[in-house]
Each structure stands twice: as structure tokens, then as C-alpha cells.
């Protein structure tokens, strides 16, 4: 059977355009090249939470935690939604007996479709219990289960994400960067010492425990972590594209991948961009596998030799020669007081803002284009959707996706298919509707066609003035719960190159077709 998006590889390749480069999925076919993939979209809701008591298939799974069911609302009040992740929704919760606030990640049992899913939840609970109390790792309060959900209650980290704090501060020094990376490497060292491989280190997984200036960072997400089996080489493709180690792409890795990911974070802290950057995951992977590390162009001449030495050792391509977390903590630059307190070039912060904000507008534009494609353009995608939607409901469930991919010759594991589902399911209702499917699978060349870019521009330019104003951008993005005022300001500042306070068509097209301008200039 033929496919307009190039068969199964085209399907996976198309999915990589859903969002910025986060979750990596690679086909297990031995003769296929690495094929990437992406994840979730965070949203925040502020209404009180009411857990459904409606019966579902989850009740057929039986106890997951091996203890009696507990009504969590008898112990905690669940309040506003804090965010959505790969495996659950996190709420602010208040302990009734003490009034203390915590974070509660609720995992819907209906999404646990197989034994592997159940084992992953059990493993996450065991790892959180195992690591709780260690430096720079979130404190675990307890796990509870009812007929519908598994609830993981842990320390509330109210200080926000690491990069948000850096950007808000406006400037920082090598010494401050050393303090940050020291905490991250401490997490890696503690995990490895205690027999855990994290497998998904990235800035988003580190939160500040409070809004205080000197608040410590806490690692908060261990959903992909595993207990290390000595001598075993791991083959599952997990992690996030910018931070993935080369040996992961070869499906033959061990705990050394965590040091690599920490090294990527350090590179970003000092330069504002990842070392291996591209518009597509294919490009990112090519850079990772090629291994050319730029420590020469701006701002690297102003960065200390010691800092660059540590980066080289953390980003050593041979995992056997890569510095260990324990040794990295003893490196002169990372030790207290050794790094320079000279402020880092402010252009780094500008690039970091672009790196974080640029793809939010792209993501929405991609969805707009998917909604405006003609029937002729998406005929093949519609057929593929109908083939997978076996019950004709107009949506694809996880089981239908698994069955459909199997018929296409897929050899993806259950966990990989689950991540694929999570990336395509933009509204997080547990199914993929037609527009979500088209958005996830359409070819990049369709995005870059002039008429499609113009249609997307017109969507934002409500009054037809030829410009996207701040109000028009706010209206579009808040309608999809995709951006607050700070994000909108960042997008305007980054895309509006002529600084007239609005985005014209040429600026919009340049943003859609290229990476960050600062990075493009750096590459020249």
C-alpha cells in the first residue's frame, strides 16, 4: 500500500513537526535511519478539579500499587492544574490535616493499556521513594490509588523552570552557571550512585523549589528513569532530541548518557543555544552523530578555558572516555569559587529567549495550515486516518493507533507508541482527531509552500492590514491556551526584526523557514 507521506517512515518523520524537538522516537527497524518524534503541550487551567467517578475500563486493570484503594480527596483538596506531561496531569493540592501544599501528579488508569504501562508507573513510584531526601531531588510524599487514577504526591516546587528564572534575571555569570550545573551534575551523581539512570535530563525537568533568589533546584520528573542493571546495554529510544547522546541513536547505551545531557545543558547556559541545532530532528541527529562541537565562535572566545574543558569532557563522544558525574563535581571550574563572576554576554539571553519562544508560534501556524489544506492535498492522509479509525468514530484511540501501525509494518514498542500518541494528541483527551492527525503527519514541504504560509499569516492578521499586531497574536494564542503576556512579548521581540511593534509577512515567513536568526548568524 502506498502513502502520500512516504509510508511509515514518512508518518514518523511528519510527526516530528508537531512541536519543538522534545521526545525522540526511533523505529526499531535495523535498516532504518533514526526517525524522531515529539511530545506534549503544557496547558494551565485554574478551575477546581473534580475527579470523575464514572466507571471505565480502568477498573478492569486492578490494583497497581499493591495496597487498598484510597479516596485522595479525603486527604487532600485538589486545586488548580499546574501542567500536563507525558504520563499525567499535575495539580496543586492541599493536605487537609496540615494545610500544607504539594504537587499531585494524577495518572489515568485508562491510559495504562498493558502490563508494560503498569510496570512503568510502579517503577516511577519505586524510584521516587528510593531517591526522595537526596540533594536536588524532589521530596516524595506518597502514592495513592483509586479505581480511576494513580496519584503521586510530592514536594511543590513553586519557583518555576530553570531557564525562566535565568531569563527573568536578565544577566548571569560563569560562576552562577557553575552553581546551576553543579546542582544538575549532583542529581546525576546521586542517581548513578543509587543505581538509577535518569534518561531524560533537560532544563524543563528542573524546577526551583521557591521564588527565593538562592532557591535550590529540584529534579522533578523520573517517568523515564530506570534502575541500572550492571552490564546491561539499553536499547529503548527515550529522551529529548537536543539532549540525546549519540549512543542512544545507536540503541546501545548506559548511564553515561545522563552526563552528556548535562553537558548539553551547560553548553546552552554559556552560549544560549544547543551545540547541535537544526530546524528538524533529522538535522539535530545528523549534528549529534557528526560530532562537530563549536567552541570557537561568539560567545566562546569570552568563556573561560576551564569551562570549555569541562564541556569537552562531558560531551566526549566515546561513553567509555566521557567524564563521570563524580569526576565532573571535582572539576576545577565546577567547584565553588573557581568560575568567573564576569557577566556573560547578554546576546546569550536573547538567543535563549528565541530558543524557548519561537516554536510556539510555529506550532500554532502548523495547526492553522493543517485546517486549511484542501481535500486533494490531504487525500492520502485522510485514507490513512480512516484505515486506523476502525470503528468510524472520527477519532483514533491508542489501541487503534497500535493496530494501525502494526499493519504498516511498525516494530515500535508499546512505550514508543504511547509517546507517539501523546505527541499527536494536542488537546490531551486521550484520542487523536482528524485535524490532530493531519497536523502531525503532513509533510514539511507543505508547510513551506507560499500559499500555505500566506493562509497561516492571514489567520493571525484578522483585520487584513498586512501585519500581525500584538492584540491579534494575543487573541490567537490565548484562544489555544498557548501563551501568556510574557510569551507574546518574547515572540514579538524576536520575530519583529524591523522593530515596528508588529510582524509583517516577510518576518513571519523568515520565522517559519529558518531557525533563530542569532544562531544563523553564528553559523555563518
- Identify which of 198, 164, 89 has the alpha carbon closest to the alpha carbon of residue 430: 89
Distance CA 287, CA 281 (A): 10
Q: Coil, helix or strand for 10? A: helix
Cβ atoms < 10 Å from Cβ of 194: 14
pTM for the full model? Answer: 0.62
* Residues whose CB falls within 8 Å of the CB of residue 336, separated by 6 or more in sequence, listed in order: none
Categorize the per-residue pLDDT at 155 as very low, low, confident or very high, splitting at 50, 70 and 90: very high
What pLDDT was estimated at residue 412? 65
Asked whether 257 and 239 are in contact (CB, 8 A), the reply is yes
Q: Which is more confident, 319 or 127?
A: 319
292 is in an annotated binding site: no
Which of the 8 DSSP states describes residue 394? S
Q: Is the pLDDT of residue 47 over 70?
A: no
State the first-to-last Cα distance of the chain, in angstroms, to the nearest integer. 43
The residues facing 23 across adjacent strands are 240
Q: How far is CA 109 from CA 33, 45, 121, 143, 153, in A?
A: 34, 21, 10, 14, 16
What pLDDT was estimated at residue 446? 56
Quick one: average pLDDT of 150-178?
Answer: 88
Categorize the per-residue pLDDT at 337 as very low, low, confident or very high, splitting at 50, 70 and 90: low
Categorize the per-residue pLDDT at 307 as very low, low, confident or very high, splitting at 50, 70 and 90: very high
Nine cell digits for residue 339: 568560575
Q: Is the pLDDT of residue 219 over 50?
A: yes
Q: Is the pLDDT of residue 259 over 90?
A: yes
What pLDDT was estimated at residue 34? 36
What pLDDT was estimated at residue 415? 75
Whole-number average pLDDT of the chain: 78
pLDDT digits 0-9 by tens, 428-469? 688 888 887 777 766 555 555 677 888 889 989 999 999 999
What pLDDT was estimated at residue 504? 94
Q: Is the pLDDT of residue 121 over 80?
A: yes
pLDDT digits 0-9 by tens, 11-24? 223 323 323 344 33
pLDDT digits 0-9 by tens, 264-302? 999 999 998 899 988 788 899 999 999 899 999 989 999
What pLDDT was estimated at residue 369? 81
Phi-psi region of 89 (alpha: psi -120 to 50; beta: other; left: phi over 0): beta
Distance CA 111, CA 106 (A): 11
Distance CA 133, CA 135 (A): 7
Q: How far is CA 363 from CA 164, 357, 360, 519, 520, in A?
A: 20, 11, 5, 20, 20
Q: Which is more confident, 71 or 132?
A: 71
* Residues whose CB falls within 8 Å of the CB of residue 489, separated by 6 or more in sequence, listed in order: none
Which of the 8 DSSP states describes residue 253? B
Domains and CATH numbers, the chain: 7-31+357-511 (1.10.238.10), 57-84+87-155 (3.30.200.20)
Which of the 8 DSSP states describes residue 344? P
Categorize the per-residue pLDDT at 411 as very low, low, confident or very high, splitting at 50, 70 and 90: low
pLDDT digits 0-9 by tens, 359-386? 567 767 877 887 777 665 565 566 567 7
* Residues whose CB falls within 8 Å of the CB of residue 2, separated by 6 or more in sequence, listed in order: 380
Q: Is the pLDDT of residue 332 over 50?
A: yes
Minimum mean pLDDT range among 20-29, 92-101, 338-347 = 20-29
Indicate the pairing of strand 196-197 with strand 226-227. Answer: antiparallel
Distance CA 489, CA 492 (A): 5
Q: What percent of the chain has pLDDT over 90?
A: 35
Q: Is the pLDDT of residue 51 over 90?
A: no
Q: Grid coordinates 502494526 are at which residue?
A: 406
Q: Which active-site residues does the annotation give?
A: 200
pLDDT digits 0-9 by tens, 468-486? 998 998 888 876 666 677 7
- Identify which of 114, 131, 10 has the alpha carbon closest to the alpha carbon of residue 64: 114
What pLDDT was estimated at residue 381? 61
Cβ atoms < 10 Å from Cβ of 250: 12
What pLDDT was estimated at residue 43? 29
Break the chain down into helix, strand, coil percent, rounded to 5: 45, 10, 45
Distance CA 84, CA 467 (A): 33
Phi, psi of 261 (to 5 degrees): -60, -40
What's 313-336 look like in SS3? HHCCCCCCCCCCHHHHHCCCCCCC
What's 26-93 look like in SS3? CCCCCCCCCCCCCCCCCCCCCCCCCCCCCCCHHHHCCCCCCCCCCCHHHCEEEEEEEEECCCCEEEEE
What pLDDT was estimated at residue 350? 53
Q: Which is more confident, 505 or 363?
A: 505
Distance CA 505, CA 467 (A): 7
What pLDDT was estimated at residue 1? 34
Distance CA 256, CA 380 (A): 42
Angle (CA) 38 65 419, round 5°: 10
Distance CA 271, CA 285 (A): 20
Helical ranges in 77-225 per DSSP H: 115-131, 162-169, 174-193
Amino acid at each position: 500500500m502506498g502513502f502520500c507521506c512516504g509510508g511509515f517512515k514518512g508518518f514518523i518523520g511528519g510527526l516530528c513537526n508537531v512541536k519543538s524537538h522534545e521526545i525522540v522516537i526511533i523505529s526499531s527497524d535495523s535498516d532504518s535511519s533514526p526517525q524522531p518524534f515529539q511530545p506534549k503541550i503544557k496547558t494551565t487551567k485554574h478551575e477546581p478539579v473534580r475527579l470523575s467517578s464514572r466507571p471505565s475500563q480502568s477498573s478492569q486493570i486492578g490494583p497497581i500499587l499493591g495496597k487498598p484503594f484510597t479516596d485522595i480527596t479525603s486527604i487532600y483538596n485538589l486545586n488548580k492544574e499546574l501542567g500536563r506531561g507525558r504520563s499525567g496531569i499535575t495539580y496543586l493540592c492541599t493536605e487537609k490535616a496540615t494545610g500544607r501544599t504539594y504537587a499531585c501528579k494524577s495518572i489515568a488508569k485508562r491510559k495504562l493499556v498493558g502490563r508494560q504501562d503498569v510496570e512503568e508507573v510502579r517503577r516511577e513510584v519505586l524510584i521516587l521513594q528510593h531517591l526522595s531526601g537526596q540533594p536536588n531531588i524532589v521530596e516524595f510524599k506518597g502514592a495513592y490509588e483509586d479505581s480511576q487514577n494513580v496519584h503521586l504526591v510530592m514536594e511543590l516546587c513553586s519557583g518555576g523552570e530553570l531557564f525562566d528564572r535565568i531569563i527573568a534575571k536578565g544577566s548571569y555569570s560563569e560562576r552562577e552557571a557553575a552553581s546551576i550545573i553543579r546542582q544538575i551534575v549532583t542529581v546525576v551523581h546521586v542517581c548513578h550512585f543509587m543505581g538509577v539512570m535518569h534518561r531524560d535530563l533537560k532544563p524543563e525537568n528542573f524546577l526551583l523549589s521557591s521564588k527565593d533568589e538562592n532557591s535550590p533546584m529540584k529534579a522533578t520528573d523520573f517517568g523515564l528513569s530506570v534502575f541500572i542493571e550492571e552490564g546491561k546495554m539499553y536499547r529503548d529510544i527515550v529522551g529529548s532530541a537536543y539532549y540525546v547522546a549519540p549512543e542512544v541513536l545507536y540503541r546501545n547505551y548506559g548511564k553515561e548518557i545522563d552526563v552528556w545531557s548535562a553537558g548539553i545543558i551547560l553548553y546552552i547556559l554559556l552560549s544560549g543555544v544547543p551545540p547541535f541545532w537544526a530546524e528538524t530532528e533529522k538535522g539535530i541527529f545528523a549534528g549529534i552523530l557528526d560530532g562537530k562541537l563549536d567552541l570557537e565562535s561568539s560567545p566562546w572566545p569570552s568563556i573561560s578555558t576551564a569551562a570549555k574543558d569541562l564541556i569537552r569532557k562531558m560531551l566526549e563522544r566515546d561513553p567509555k572516555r566521557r567524564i563521570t558525574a563524580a569526576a565532573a563535581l571535582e572539576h576545577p571550574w565546577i567547584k565553588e569559587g573557581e568560575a568567573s563572576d564576569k557577566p556573560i554576554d547578554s546576546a546569550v539571553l536573547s538567543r535563549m529567549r528565541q530558543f524557548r519562544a519561537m516554536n510556539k508560534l510555529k506550532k500554532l501556524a502548523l495547526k492553522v495550515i493543517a485546517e486549511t489544506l484542501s481535500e486533494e492535498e490531504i487525500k492520502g492522509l485522510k485514507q490513512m486516518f480512516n484505515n486506523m479509525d476502525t470503528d468510524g468514530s472520527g477519532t483514533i484511540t491508542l489501541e487503534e493507533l497500535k493496530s494501525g501501525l502494526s499493519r504498516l509494518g511498525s516494530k515500535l514498542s508499546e512505550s514508543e507508541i504511547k509517546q507517539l500518541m501523546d505527541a499527536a494528541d494536542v488537546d490531551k483527551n486521550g484520542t487523536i482527531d482528524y485535524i490532530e492527525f493531519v497536523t502531525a503527519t503532513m509533510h514539511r514541504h507543505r508547510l513551506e509552500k507560499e500559499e500555505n504560509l500566506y493562509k497561516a499569516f492571514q489567520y493571525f492578521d484578522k483585520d487584513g492590514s498586512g501585519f500581525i499586531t500584538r492584540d491579534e497574536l494575543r487573541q490567537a494564542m490565548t484562544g489555544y491556551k498557548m501563551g501568556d503576556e510574557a510569551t507574546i512579548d518574547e515572540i514579538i521581540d524576536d520575530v519583529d526584526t524591523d522593530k515596528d511593534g508588529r510582524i509583517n509577512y516577510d518576518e513571519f515567513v523568515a520565522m517559519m523557514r529558518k531557525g533563530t536568526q542569532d544562531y544563523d548568524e553564528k553559523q555563518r
